[in-house]
């Protein structure tokens, strides 16, 4: 029997700075879901990549006196390294928006959209934030007339003839889509936000830039004076990575006949759940199945993280000091799956000691000590033991609820040791004590199985220790 297909993609971050904790959170969570689906027997296509066009990147390369392609090639390496740094799935796909195949797909997307009558040319005058790569209305600006998210950037004034996408033609169709798929956007409060936005009415948006002013983009087919607006090109990467339009087999399997999932931050809500869905409709392609919206990682007390406030955390430093599974644990269990979450090193260390060094680390040492002393070999392991509620939690992208279930199992095993004291019982009722120790080994193995998507290295280690009836060479997660 062939496997059921499952496609999941992260956003494609811009390559104008090093990978930050917010994106690390997003890609770890997407990896957890991808691994869970594999565990559940699906054939998984897990995608990430880099968004390499647009004003922001062009300016940064220009300011550092570097050829733009050389500049992006240099940054892409850092993003590709995330695979090993964050312990991501080996078979993760990586698309660059400067890949030839992607550029060809973006051009074909434009041609079809144009042929269907959804592209036209008009004079464009607007304020534009290069940080967001989005135009801004006055209500979206602070008192100094700057973007709320990028208060240090001067807005660009655009006054030129551009191509436009007939977004306004899709208001009713989008509302119909939202009604027909009640879990298109997760969580609900984000879905309500986008519904309200579309209900207020849609304005056509510009999808090209004059090449003389901004040459770094995908060429507009049939007009050599223009390049595509960065979002119009980048969003199509979600399907170009699947080989669209040429590789219909892969595209049909994972997109058309599958349940494609897009993970993104809350700053991407509009682009992913309205703009991209309308773009897909404009070329007669099926919509995304689910869009999961993450909150932001913030500093203590919810203040924005920034280098000047000194409250940023570097995912690479954390992995170096605490190991990749510790970061994956923290992202899944200690940060809210959908709301903004503060991330401080104090909180991280506290959770590390309480739930990893003392929690799973201590439990493993205690059980394996009793097992290696009293059992001649590993007990029989049931073929399936992952609780349904664990997989159900991941099915609705609640990585925190899933991780909580694992830690309930850890507490339950701790309680058994405390209440039944098998290490004492072994002297008076050996048979009963052996049964308790065997049960604890099976429980530890089940915990190992559940940890597969969340903490893959720890999962492998736990299963190996139980199966080989061995003590760990050193305690898991040494106290810090
Ligand atoms: Zn901005």
Give, as one character, the DSSP assignment of residue 247.
-
Band (pLDDT 50/70/90 cuts) for residue 43 is very high
Q: Tell me, in angstroms, the distance from the centre of ligand 1 to residue 100's CA.
A: 29
Q: 247 in a domain, yes or no? A: yes
Band (pLDDT 50/70/90 cuts) for residue 305 is confident
Task: List Cβ neighbours of 422 (8 Å cut-off, separation of 6 or more).
Answer: 370, 433, 436, 437, 440
Residues 382 and 258 in one domain: no
CATH number of the domain enclosing 18 = 3.40.50.620
Q: Tell me, in angstroms, the distance from the centre of ligand 1 to residue 320's CA.
A: 32
Q: Tell me, in angstroms, the distance from the centre of ligand 1 to residue 269's CA.
A: 14
pLDDT score recorded for residue 17: 84
CATH number of the domain enclosing 411 = 1.10.730.10
Tokens of 313: 């955390």
- Parent domain of 430: 344-468
Q: 67 in a domain, yes or no? A: yes
Q: Tell me, in angstroms, the distance from the centre of ligand 1 to residue 238's CA.
A: 23
Q: Tell me, in angstroms, the distance from the centre of ligand 1 to residue 181's CA.
A: 31
Q: How many structural domains is the chain composed of?
A: 2
Does 272 score more than 90 pLDDT?
A: yes
Q: Tell me, in angstroms, the distance from the centre of ligand 1 to residue 148's CA.
A: 7
Residues 119 and 11 in one domain: yes
pLDDT score recorded for residue 187: 98
d(Cα 84, Cα 461) in Å, to the nearest integer? 18
Instruction: Name the one residue in this structure whose structure tokens are 């087919």.
Output: 221
Q: Tell me, in angstroms, the distance from the centre of ligand 1 to residue 240's CA.
A: 27
pLDDT score recorded for residue 377: 96
What is the length of the chain? 480
Q: Tell me, in angstroms, the distance from the centre of ligand 1 to residue 278's CA.
A: 23
Tokens of 334: 């200690």
Instruction: Name the one residue in this structure whose structure tokens are 């811009």.
Output: 14
Q: Tell me, in angstroms, the distance from the centre of ligand 1 to residue 217's CA.
A: 19
Residues 290 and 352 in one domain: no
pLDDT digits (tens, 9 = 90+) for 312-343: 899 999 999 999 999 999 999 999 999 999 99
Q: Tell me, in angstroms, the distance from the centre of ligand 1 to residue 138's CA.
A: 13
Please state, rounded to an integer, the average pLDDT across all residues of the chain: 96
Q: 52 phi and psi, to 5 degrees?
A: -115, 5
Integer CA distances (angstroms), 308 to 93, 304, 305, 408, in order: 35, 11, 9, 40
pLDDT digits (tens, 9 = 90+) for 131-151: 999 999 888 999 999 999 899
Band (pLDDT 50/70/90 cuts) for residue 18 is confident
Tokens of 216: 């770094």
Q: Tell me, in angstroms, the distance from the centre of ligand 1 to residue 339's CA.
A: 20
Residues 17 and 112 in one domain: yes
Residues 247 and 167 in one domain: yes
d(Cα 147, Cα 126) in Å, to the nearest integer? 13
Q: Tell me, in angstroms, the distance from the centre of ligand 1 to residue 275's CA.
A: 18
* Residues measured by CB to lie within 5 Å of ligand 1, the ion: 129, 131-132, 147, 149-150
Q: 478 in a domain, yes or no? A: no
The dihedral through the CA atoms of 252, 42, 327, 409 has a sign that is positive
Q: 40 in a domain, yes or no? A: yes
pLDDT digits (tens, 9 = 90+) for 403-442: 999 999 999 999 999 999 999 999 999 999 999 999 999 9
Q: List the alpha helices (DSSP H) in 210-314.
A: 230-235, 237-240, 248-251, 269-270, 276-282
Residues 353 and 447 in one domain: yes
pLDDT digits (tens, 9 = 90+) for 337-378: 999 999 999 999 999 999 999 999 999 999 999 999 999 999
pLDDT score recorded for residue 310: 81
Neighbours of 395 (CB within 10 A): 14
Residues 289 and 355 in one domain: no
Q: 70 in a domain, yes or no? A: yes
Q: Tell me, in angstroms, the distance from the centre of ligand 1 to residue 265's CA.
A: 14
- Do 227 and 214 contact (CB within 8 A), yes or no? yes
Residues 354 and 426 in one domain: yes
Q: Summarize the confidence of residues 82-99 as an average pLDDT.
A: 97
Name the nearest CA neighbour of 469 among 381, 380, 366, 377. 377
Does 1 score more than 60 pLDDT?
A: no
Residues 290 and 353 in one domain: no
Q: Tell me, in angstroms, the distance from the centre of ligand 1 to residue 156's CA.
A: 11
Q: 6 phi and psi, to 5 degrees?
A: -145, 125
Q: 337 in a domain, yes or no? A: no
Angle between helices 456-468 and 430-454 (to 10 degrees): 150
Tokens of 223: 């007009």
Q: Tell me, in angstroms, the distance from the centre of ligand 1 to residue 154's CA.
A: 10
Q: Tell me, in angstroms, the distance from the centre of ligand 1 to residue 263's CA.
A: 20
């Amino acid at each position: 029997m062939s496997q059921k297909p499952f496609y999941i993609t992260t956003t494609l971050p811009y390559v104008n700075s090093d990978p930050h904790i917010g994106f690390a959170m997003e890609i770890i969570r997407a990896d957890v879901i991808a691994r869970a689906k594999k565990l559940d027997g699906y054939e998984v296509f897990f995608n990430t990549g880099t968004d390499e066009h647009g004003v922001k990147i062009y300016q940064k390369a220009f300011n550092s006196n570097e050829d733009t392609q050389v500049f992006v090639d240099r940054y892409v390496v850092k993003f590709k390294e995330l695979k090993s740094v964050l312990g991501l799935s080996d078979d993760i796909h990586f698309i660059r928006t400067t890949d030839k195949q992607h550029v060809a797909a973006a051009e074909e997307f434009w041609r079809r959209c144009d042929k269907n009558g959804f592209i036209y040319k008009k004079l464009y005058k607007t304020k534009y934030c290069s940080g967001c790569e989005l135009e801004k209305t006055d209500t979206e600006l602070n008192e100094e007339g700057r973007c709320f998210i990028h208060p240090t950037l001067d807005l660009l004034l655009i006054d030129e003839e551009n191509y436009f996408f007939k977004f306004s033609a899709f208001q009713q169709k989008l509302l119909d889509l939202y009604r027909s798929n009640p879990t298109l956007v997760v969580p609900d409060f984000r879905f309500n936000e986008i519904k309200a936005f579309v209900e207020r009415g849609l304005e056509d948006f510009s999808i090209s830039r004059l090449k003389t002013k901004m040459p770094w983009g995908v060429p507009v087919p049939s007009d050599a004076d223009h390049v595509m607006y960065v979002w119009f090109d980048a969003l199509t990467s979600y399907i170009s990575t699947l080989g669209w339009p040429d590789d219909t087999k892969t595209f049909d399997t994972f997109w058309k006949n599958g349940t494609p999932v897009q993970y993104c931050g809350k700053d991407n809500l509009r682009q992913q759940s309205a703009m991209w869905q309308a773009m897909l409709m404009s070329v007669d392609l099926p919509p995304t199945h689910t869009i999961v919206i993450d909150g932001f990682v913030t500093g203590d007390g919810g203040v924005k993280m920034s280098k000047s406030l000194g409250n940023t955390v570097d995912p690479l430093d954390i992995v170096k000091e605490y190991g990749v599974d510790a970061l994956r644990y923290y992202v899944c269990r200690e940060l809210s799956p959908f709301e903004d979450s503060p991330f401080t090193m104090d909180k991280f260390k506290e959770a590390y000691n309480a739930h990893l060094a003392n929690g799973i680390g201590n439990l493993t040492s205690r059980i394996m000590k009793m097992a290696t002393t009293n059992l001649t070999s590993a007990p029989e392991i049931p073929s399936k033991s992952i609780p349904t509620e664990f997989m159900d939690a991941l099915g609705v992208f609640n990585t925190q609820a899933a991780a909580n279930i694992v830690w309930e199992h850890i507490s339950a095993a701790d309680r058994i040791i405390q209440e039944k004291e098998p290490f004492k019982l072994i002297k008076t009722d050996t048979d009963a004590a052996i049964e308790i120790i065997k049960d604890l080994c099976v429980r530890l193995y089940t915990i190992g199985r559940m940890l597969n998507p969340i903490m893959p290295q720890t999962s492998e280690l736990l299963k190996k220790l139980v199966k080989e009836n061995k003590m760990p060479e050193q305690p898991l997660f040494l106290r810090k």
